[in-house]
Amino acid sequence: MKNALAQADHAVEALRAERRDDYYPQFHLAPSAGWINDPNGLICINGVYHAFYQHHPYDENWGPMHWGHATSRDLAHWQHQPIALAPGEDDDKGGCFSGCAVDDGGVLTLIYTGHVWLGKAGDDDQVREVQCLATSEDGVHFVKHGPVLTPPDGIQHFRDPKVWREDGEWWMVVGARENGLGQARLYRSADLRDWRFDRLLGGAQAPHQGYMWECPDFFPLGEQHLLLFSPQGLTAQGYRNRNRFQSGYLLGHWRPGHDFTPTQPFCELDAGHDFYAPQTFTAADGRRLLFAWMDMWESPMPSKAHRWAGALTLPRELTLGADGAVRMNPARELTALRREHRTLIPLKLRNQRRPLAEALQELQLTLDLAGSDAERYGVAIGGAARLYVDNQAHRLVLERFSEDPGLCGCRSVALPAGERLSLRLFIDRSSLEVFVNQGEACLTSRIYPADGRRDLSLFAEGGQAQFGDMEGWQL
């Protein structure tokens, strides 16, 4: 593997020399060059945060998957590390697909999917997927130990293991596809090497619930358990399931050795255009944190012309609200990114647009819903996007503009109850993340401002709008 890794590192460096930075994030994790998708192996071990990710170092397009690697001491600033895994063994020669990391008595251990194309590369109907193990003594260089879990007869799609320790045992949830229906399969082991099937944690009953459940994750939140997964094949319904694939959760109850009993239907975790394959990990102090891939399969990605594609979201903290709903907020560590601060005074606009700032990367504002009668009012970011209240549909809308019709369109959430709406925006060179009312809803979308224009303005159309307290930061 050493040779393959050295070659891959070399390839990224060569691509890096050609990278253009117009869209390259200032404060999000992205490949130094080439392609990335899912976050993998998120863990805090020996005082260091590790984020691995699906990576193609030879090209800005998806290809034979490697594991890229970055580390951080504070979750806000990241350093790229040498590529951790390269495909090439009999069991992973088609790619080292997604997986997780665990702390096995101080040893950083990766469990990932070895993918093999049995027919032509890219032919999804003939694949073999097994779960493989790799370990590291120094947290940077990894030794592969081969497969530890093979799929049951009749299952080809069997990937994205997430492992945790509970009740003196290791547990693994794996995504699978059986007879055209998605599943989350639960396994248990004493030593991370020998696994036995425990039960199905969940599964689609019909094709409209997904033909494949990718990237499952399973963990306690408050008094409940959350089964997080990324189903493929859901049909769009009204405002829901608008992206190519979805990511969301079932909330319910579980104890080791028992069935998982969801108490409510599948719920999408983020309502934006670009949010997929989220995975969680625990911070040193026990908080449940999450990263997702901030893109969507098959979406146009203008940064490919600049020799890179793909970024991770900001790290977010998950909590369960008193009302039993999941809340997602930016990790509090991100305040370390704040530099220049701006306080902006409340203002009223009637059929007007008012420049607010040249560029701010973090903006907090409140909209006075009760005191506004405009048809639409909110914030515009250059010519690339606007976020506004649609007073007729009674929704908060993120509208994205582009010369590419494939990037145009709206995503939205119902306006929460209450007279005021609080919004927290993070605006990087090619992304917008919106946290609504302390995490009651989130919208994450890639945006591609022309000429780097990210100036902010406020607007009110068809009436009057009242903007309350506003604060901004350069990050």
Spatial CB neighbours of 220, under 8 Å, sequence gap ≥ 6: 226
Closer residue to ligand FRU in complex, CB, 312/475: 312
- Whether residue 427 contacts residue 400, with contact meaning beta carbons closer than 8 Å, is answered with no
CB of 351 to ligand FRU, least distance (A): 44
What distances in angstroms separate CA 387 from CA 262, 340, 376, 436, one per listed residue?
33, 23, 10, 11
Q: Phi and psi for 305 in degrees, rounded to 5?
A: -65, -15
- Name the site residues for ligand FRU (rule: CB under 6 A): 37-38, 54, 65, 97-98, 113, 159-160, 214-215, 276-277
68 DSSP β-pair partners: 53
Is 469 part of the annotated catalytic residue set? Answer: no
Indicate the length of the chain as a whole number.
475
Q: Which two tokens stand for residue 459?
A: 């607007």
Q: Running DSSP on this structure, what letter comes out for residue 450?
A: G
- Whether residue 142 contacts residue 86, with contact meaning beta carbons closer than 8 Å, is answered with no
User: What is residue 273's three-state secondary structure?
Assistant: coil
Spatial CB neighbours of 194, under 8 Å, sequence gap ≥ 6: 148
Within 10 angstroms of residue 4's Cβ, the number of other Cβ atoms is 16
Catalytic position from the list 9, 22, 38, 390 = 38
Closer residue to ligand FRU in complex, CB, 109/113: 113
Q: What is the DSSP string of 82-104?
A: EEEE---STTTTTEEEEEEEEEE
Closer residue to ligand FRU in complex, CB, 25/95: 95
Give how far the C-alpha of residue 313 lies from the chain's centroid of Cα atoms, to the nearest Å: 6
Closer residue to ligand FRU in complex, CB, 129/440: 129
CB of 250 to ligand FRU, least distance (A): 18
Pairing of strands 34-45, 308-309: parallel
- Whether residue 14 contacts residue 58, with contact meaning beta carbons closer than 8 Å, is answered with no
Specify the amino acid at residue 435.
F
CB of 232 to ligand FRU, least distance (A): 8
User: What is residue 159's three-state secondary structure?
Assistant: strand
CB of 161 to ligand FRU, least distance (A): 10
- Whether residue 41 contacts residue 110, with contact meaning beta carbons closer than 8 Å, is answered with yes
- Whether residue 230 contacts residue 278, with contact meaning beta carbons closer than 8 Å, is answered with yes
Closer residue to ligand FRU in complex, CB, 54/430: 54
Nearest to 280 by CA among 163, 166, 187: 163
Q: Which two tokens stand for residue 125?
A: 């109907």
CB of 376 to ligand FRU, least distance (A): 34
Q: Which two tokens stand for residue 280?
A: 């969680």
Specify the amino acid at residue 415.
L
Closer residue to ligand FRU in complex, CB, 52/435: 52
CB of 171 to ligand FRU, least distance (A): 19
Closer residue to ligand FRU in complex, CB, 54/361: 54
- Whether residue 226 contacts residue 219, with contact meaning beta carbons closer than 8 Å, is answered with yes
Catalytically active residues are 38
